[in-house]
Chains A and B, each alone.
Chain A
Amino acid sequence: MSDMTQTEPTADEPDADAPTGGAVSFQVAQDHKWYRRPNIVVPVVLVFLGLTMLAVADTPTARFRSEFAPPGDVRFDWAYFFHLVPQMLQGLFVTARATVLGFLIAASLGLVLALLRRSESRWVSYPAVAVIEFVRSTPILVQMFFAQVLVRATPAISLNALVILFIVVGIHYATYASEAYRAGINSVPAGQWEAATALNLGPLTKWTRIIIPQAVPNVLPTLGNYLVAAFKDVPIGDAVLSTGGVLFMANAIRSSDFRAVEPYLLIGVGFLLVSLPAAWLVRRLEERISYERD
């Protein structure tokens, strides 16, 4: 790697003087220019931006300026920031509730979809594949709009926004979870299936006592990651369906107080405080499972 910093095209290879190799070594030399290499440029730019922000923030009159805030309200106010915490916590509980309910649907429906997809009957497996692939390859934002319109256009169905939200999140993540379950089921060694056949176990016993107990631990870390991802997708529901989650609260505060930086920053802090420990737990789980597998 040391020759990557050389600027002379002839220096990176001993036989680069040969006329036939000239074109190639010239191309390589172009990449040696430091400003063409992203792994150098990106950190430099980030450090430069960081330093600039520090310099601006350190000005006593404007510790934190933002164009979102109207004139006269430019200063970041810690007292106001903390004053918002109870209201935003209320929103966070709604977001968390939608996440948990949605994820319960995802975890159970995902297993059902995975089993349907494995079915020997094409009349069962093909529709399952179609549903999984369709839902997986369309954005959750569009699905939420669609669900909202569908519910409003159908007089027979009346659901409140939170229910629509967690059903959409549940179905969306069920398709991802089903793929995780599928991988987990495939990871159960062939010998386990053969032992189940040799013992003449029925399908129900085979699945509930042999296959699923061995497949699910392998799937848990992936499901944990999906739980964190679903948590981050739920605020989309606030924007589309006006559920009372964190983003809804922040928007409401912004409309009433004409202050945006504090509530939105609070959302960021809140997500960080929940997501980081969750990610850490998932990693611990992964380590523990790989340890137990040995």
Chain B
Amino acid sequence: MNATDSHKDVSPKGAASVRMRGVGKAFGSLTVLQELDLDVEPGERVVIIGPSGSGKTTILRVAMTLERIDSGTIRIGGQHLYHEETSSGQLKDASEKHIRGVRSNIGMVFQHFNLFPHMSAIENIMLAPVKVHGKSRKDAQQIGMELLDKVGLIEHANHTPGQLSGGQKQRVAIARALATQPSVMLFDEVTSALDPELVGEVLNVLRDIAEEGKTTMMLVTHEMGFAREIADRVLMFDAGRMIEGGPPSELLGNPQHERTRSFLGAVAEH
């Protein structure tokens, strides 16, 4: 857990590290993250588990800047997300411009898809490449169609989200996040809102992304079988703290903490 700055922060394939130091976040009197130190290496696949209210989703949300941290630092690929270094080496709060620059390395897929309902699938995917990354519509469309092909939805390019099933929506949302070629991908309970028979198609897409290894993946999920299969490391969270972490075979197979055992027991009963 004590990886230092000497580690490589960016892999040759483009995946980037995530390094959190002393990250704290509270909503009013409710502390959701306490002094969190977390390192994710470039290309690593980390699954975060824990009961609801444990702060696991908040980790992804602060990394995506959907919530701002109260204390600590977060670095993506070696660059500070919320801070800028002055010429004297001191850290100061970052400008929105700086945050936008670093944020362009991060992509996120949401539990409830959050597709833009007034745009077709392909337009959803093309929007950021055209508007943020300055691609021509032609190039963006080509990227979009390749991604739709990858998630098996090339036939549905002109469908609006209202015409797609939950699983199809989530696959479009994944394609949309991939279109910006992020170095770090955050997946926030991406199968939790799906009917059980639609979970498989989304997990297959995640497997493909994991196999390519072009991006660091942080996943919050309750699919323990999938976590065991895909994760390099599983982290158990409770009450805003990481209480245990390790390879899936160890953490899921032989948990050390009583809290982890009771949580895994409760999840297995489903």
Contact = CB atoms under 8 A, between A and B. Distances in A.
B131 to A, nearest CB: 4
Contact of B131 (A189, A195, A205): A205
A197 B66 contact: yes
B156 interface: no
Q: DSSP class of A's interface residues: helix, strand, loop or mixed?
A: helix
A199 B117 contact: no
Contact of B64 (A197, A202, A210): A197
B142 interface: no
Contacts of B127: 199, 201, 205, 209
A205 B114 contact: no
Main secondary structure of the interface of B (DSSP, over half): loop
B103 A200 contact: yes
Given A194-B110, A205-B131, A199 B118 contact: no
A198 interface: yes
A213 B124 CA distance: 14
A209 B131 contact: yes
A214 B131 contact: no
Contact of A198 (B117, B131, B177): B177
Interface residues of B, number: 24
A200 B180 contact: yes
A197 B65 contact: yes
A197 B114 CA distance: 11
B132 A198 contact: no
A158 interface: no
A191 interface: yes
A214 B113 CA distance: 16
Interface in A168-197: 189, 191-192, 194-195, 197
A195 B103 contact: no
A199 B112 contact: no
Interface in B101-140: 103-104, 106-108, 110, 112-118, 127-128, 131-132
A194 B103 contact: no
Contacts of A200: 100, 103-104, 128, 132, 180
Nearest to B106: A198
B19 interface: no
Interface in A142-190: 189
Given A197-B64, A200-B132, A202-B132, A192 B103 contact: no
B176 interface: yes
A200 B76 CA distance: 15
Given A191-B110, A194-B66, A197-B64, A202 B118 contact: no
Interface in B55-113: 64-66, 100, 103-104, 106-108, 110, 112-113
Contacts of B66: 194, 197-198
B110 A199 contact: no
Contacts of A195: 110, 114-116
Interface string A260-276: 00000000000000000
Nearest to A203: B96
Contacts of B132: 199-202, 205
B186 to A, nearest CB: 8
Contacts of A194: 64, 66, 110, 114
A278 B104 CA distance: 48
Nearest to A204: B131
A21 B249 CA distance: 74
A208 to B, nearest CB: 10
A192 B131 contact: no
A192 B112 CA distance: 10
A91 B117 CA distance: 45
The 7 closest A-B pairs by CB, nearest first: A191-B114, A195-B114, A198-B108, A199-B128, A205-B131, A200-B104, A200-B132
Interface of A: 189, 191-192, 194-195, 197-202, 205, 209-210, 213-214
Given A191-B110, A194-B66, A209-B127, 4 more contacts: A197-B64, A200-B103, A205-B127, A205-B131
9 contacts: A197-B64, A198-B110, A199-B132, A201-B127, A202-B100, A205-B131, A209-B116, A213-B118, A214-B118
